[in-house]
Amino acid sequence: MSEEIPYKIYLSEKEIPTNWYNIRADMKNKPAPLLNPGTLQPLTFEELTPIFCEELVKQELDNDTPWIPIPEEVRNFYKMYRPSPLVRAYCLEKALGTPAKIYYKFEGNNTSGSHKLTSAIAQAYYAKKQGLKGVTTETGAGQWGTALSMACAYFGLDCKVYMVKVSYEQKPFRREVMRTYGASVTPSPSMTTEIGRKINAEYPGTSGSLGCAISEAVEAALNLDGYRYELGSVLNQVLLHQTIIGLETKAALDKYNIVPDTIIGCAGGGSNLGGLVSPFLGEKIRGEKDYQIIAVEPASCPSLTRGVFAYDFCDTGHVCPLAKMYTLGSEFIPSANHAGGLRYHGMTPILSQAFHDGFMEARSVEQTQVFEAATQFARVEGILPAPESSHAIRVAIDEALKCKETGEAKTIVFGLTGTGYFDLKAYAAYNDGNMNDYIPTDEDLQASINKIPHFPGNLA
């Protein structure tokens, strides 16, 4: 074992980045703007501010400023759990017998259990600064809802969470964590919103999806005075906040002159992956360096690998704007896969554009293979990974095993976005041999892809 590189590379608090990195400033092909579905024109600041906080709308629309200062109050909160460790997976390397050098950036080292807190605290801060009473949101696996509940508690804001029904039922303890932080939690689709009642009537007994929950949360925010909606992924602003993951990773690697060959992350809406890879992708786009970047998604919800690149609604109820992204169609409701946080029909426009332009690869993996990797990882590295994060572990292991065959000592970095202590039903299904892999057929996908809006320039 090398003496030089420690198990965990920690940066000091002083090394917490002072700016987020806005990759859009360096992209030659900018992500397409959000469109107003009524006019098909780019959404303006004035149209977006009834839904989102003003400062966040500015960040959403800013394609030009490369570095955006992190407010002092947000950096102070970050000090409670950042910088997060970059871990050298010595034990996993040994177990695999690979010459590859594997590192993971561990974002589960805060009480909420995932990377989501990094954007939640920024979003709550801007809501507070604007003088709002509270915010509404959706949550899939429960990680984002937990993070936002915690952030709202810190700033004394009310938080109303619409939780995808399947997770609400599978994860009652997650719900209680949110309630303990003071949030109210409603299973989605619910009967408390117009759109929820409509979805329930159209798809009786549906287990819900992130797309449905988003529609409900937006409707609730629009109907409540002093509230705005906050989203945990997909949007440019969320990816921006998550770039702290990649900036810290790069700073830690630079300390030891480590240059990664391959960077891997799971991709739901794309915020953690986008955050992790942004500084590296920036170098790649600017032609300074080359890296292999791999997005990993569930075979049950394969937006990058089997979707189409088109303008589509961000939500099932069509109350949200149109975003140009890889999508399976906003009416696609994935099977009840255990990685709730990856059950989203689209992919953030920034990564969609980067993928479209050939800067990134994508793989889809089946959940039994994912849990096999999760179990293997837990037994040697000690951390019980979230099912979402385990998608990245699966591909990191696959790549390390390829190195074993070829004898290459590649450096692989992956994002370990969270812990899986609230996912034990999923682990139980795997341990009992009761886990299924449902892969949608081409017909299944075509049915929802056919419902993507057609207009001149879009699938027309």
Ligand X SMILES: Cc1ncc(COP(=O)(O)O)c(C=O)c1O
51: Cβ contacts below 8 Å, ≥ 6 apart? 218, 221, 222, 228, 229
396: nearest Cα among 102, 87, 107, 105: 102
Reduce the DSSP state of residue 19 to 3 states and report it.
Answer: strand
For residues 146 and 268, what is the distance between their CA atoms, to the nearest angstrom? Answer: 17
Of the residues 22, 112, 186, 233, which one makes contact with ligand X according to CB under 6 A: 233
Strands 308-313 and 67-69: unpaired
> In this structure, what DSSP letter does residue 144 have?
H
Report in angstroms how near the CB of residue 124 gets to ligand X at its nearest. 17
Do the Cβ atoms of 233 and 265 come closer than 8 Å? no
Could you give the dihedral angle defined by the CA atoms of residues 115, 117, 123 and 127, in that order, rounded to the nearest 10 degrees?
A: 170
Reduce the DSSP state of residue 122 to 3 states and report it.
Answer: helix
Report in angstroms how near the CB of residue 391 gets to ligand X at its nearest. 8
Cβ-count burial 177-210 (b if 16+ within 10 Å, e if not): bbeebebebbbbbbeebebbeebbeebeebbbbb
Instruction: Name the segment binding ligand X (CB under 6 A); options: 13-21, 39-47, 271-279, 365-373.
Output: 271-279
Using CB under 6 A, which residues numbered 239 to 268 contact ligand X? 266-268
Report in angstroms how near the CB of residue 256 gets to ligand X at its nearest. 26
Which is nearer to ligand X, 132 or 301 (by Cβ)? 301
Q: Torsions phi, psi of 152, nearest 5? A: -65, -40
State yes or no: residue 337 binds ligand X (CB under 6 A).
no
State yes or no: residue 279 binds ligand X (CB under 6 A).
no
State yes or no: residue 334 binds ligand X (CB under 6 A).
no
Query: Which amino acid is present at 34?
Result: L
Of the residues 52, 77, 103, 144, which one makes contact with ligand X according to CB under 6 A: 144
CA atoms within 13 A on the CB side of 67: 5
Of the residues 33, 85, 140, 317, which one makes contact with ligand X according to CB under 6 A: 140
Of the residues 23, 141, 319, 435, which one makes contact with ligand X according to CB under 6 A: 141
212: nearest Cα among 307, 125, 320: 320
Which is nearer to ligand X, 196 or 270 (by Cβ)? 270
Which is nearer to ligand X, 23 or 132 (by Cβ)? 23
Residue number with the smallest Cβ distance to ligand X: 341
Report in angstroms how near the CB of residue 295 gets to ligand X at its nearest. 9
**Window 57-86: contact mask with ligand X (x via CB under 6 A):** ------------------------------
Of the residues 118, 143, 303, 367, which one makes contact with ligand X according to CB under 6 A: 143
Q: List residues bridging with 412 in a β-sheet.
A: 102, 262
Report in angstroms how near the CB of residue 139 gets to ligand X at its nearest. 7
State yes or no: residue 352 binds ligand X (CB under 6 A).
no
State yes or no: residue 271 binds ligand X (CB under 6 A).
yes
Using CB under 6 A, which residues numbered 378 to 417 contact ligand X? 386, 388-389, 417
Which is nearer to ligand X, 174 or 410 (by Cβ)? 174
Reduce the DSSP state of residue 267 to 3 states and report it.
Answer: coil
State yes or no: residue 342 binds ligand X (CB under 6 A).
yes
Do the Cβ atoms of 123 and 230 come closer than 8 Å? yes
Report in angstroms how near the CB of residue 338 gets to ligand X at its nearest. 12
Which is nearer to ligand X, 246 or 453 (by Cβ)? 246
263: nearest Cα among 106, 394, 415: 415
310: nearest Cα among 257, 346, 269, 285: 346
The binding site for ligand X (CB under 6 A) comprises 114, 140-141, 143-144, 233, 266-273, 341-342, 386, 388-389, 417-418
